[in-house]
Amino acid sequence: EMLGFASQITTNTAVMARMISDLLDYTRTRLGAGMPVSVASMDLDRLCRELFDEFRTAHPGRVIRYQSEGRQMGEWDTDRLRQAISNLLGNAVQHGDENAPIDLVLAGDSSDVLVTIRNGGSPIPPGELPRIFEPLVRGSSAENPKHNRPGSIGLGLYIAREVARSHGGGIDVTSSQEAGTAFTMYL
C-alpha cells in the first residue's frame, strides 16, 4: 500500500511540475521575453522515435504510428521540441477518436522540416480553429472532464506554437470529418 502512495505522490509531483513549467513559459512569452531556447545539433528522428515509443507504451489501447523520411539532423533545442511534440501527441490522444489511429509523420530536409500529428474523430468546429492556439482557451470537448489530461491547463497548443516560433517556424492546423485533425509544425 505504501508503494501505491509513493507512486501516486510521484505522479502528482510530475503533474504539478508540468503545470508550473507551463505557467512559467506562458508568463515569459506574454511578457515579451519569447520562449528561451538553447540550440545544439540534434537528431529529430531519434526524438520523435522516443516520443512515439513513450506514447505507445502509455496508451497501449491506441493505434499510434510513426513515419519518417530520411535522417533529420538540425540545430534545435531538444527539450523544447520534446515539449512541443509531446503536447501535440497528448492533444491527439485527448481529443481524437479512441478507435482511430494517431499518426506522427516527420518529413522534409535540413532546411525545412515538418512534424505532423494527425488523429481521427470529430473535427474542430470552424469557429474554434482561429482561437485554438490562444492561451487558456479550451475546445468544446474540454467541457467533458474525461478528456482532460492531468496537469493540462489549456496551454499545450499555445506552448507548442511558441516553441515552433522560437525556432523560426510555426504551426498550422487543418480539421475535417474526412481527413481528421492534423497539426503541422514546421521548423
150-161 pLDDT tens trace: 445 578 898 899
Query: Which runs of E-coded beta strand occur in the chain?
Result: 40-43, 64-68, 73-76, 102-108, 113-119, 170-176, 180-186
To which residue does cell 492556439 refer?
Answer: 133
Judge whether 109 and 81 are in contact, CB under 8 Å: no
Strands 40-43, 73-76: pairing kind = antiparallel
Torsion of CA 148, 153, 157, 163, to 10 degrees: -140
Which residues of the chain are under the pLDDT cut of 70? Answer: 7, 11-12, 14-34, 70-71, 109-110, 136-153
If phi > 0 it is left, if psi is from -120 to 50 it is alpha, else beta; for residue 108 that is left
CA-nearest of 169, 134, 113 to 29 is: 134
By the 8 A CB rule, do 116 and 182 touch?
A: yes
Q: What is the pLDDT of residue 152?
A: 52
Q: How far apart are CA 157 and CA 187, in angstroms?
A: 16
Q: Can you give the pLDDT at residue 142?
A: 46
Q: Which three cell numbers stand for residue 64?
A: 499510434
Reported as a single tens digit per residue, the pLDDT across 116-136 is 999 999 999 988 888 898 876
> CA nearest 126: which of 183, 181, 186?
181
Can you give the pTM of this predicted structure? 0.79
Residue 115, C-alpha cell as written in the block: 512534424
The number of residues making up the chain comes to 187
DSSP one-letter code for 109: -
User: C-alpha angle 183/58/160, rounded to 5°?
Assistant: 30
The CA angle 123-128-132, to the nearest 5 degrees, is 95
Which three three-digit cell numbers place residue 91? 492533444
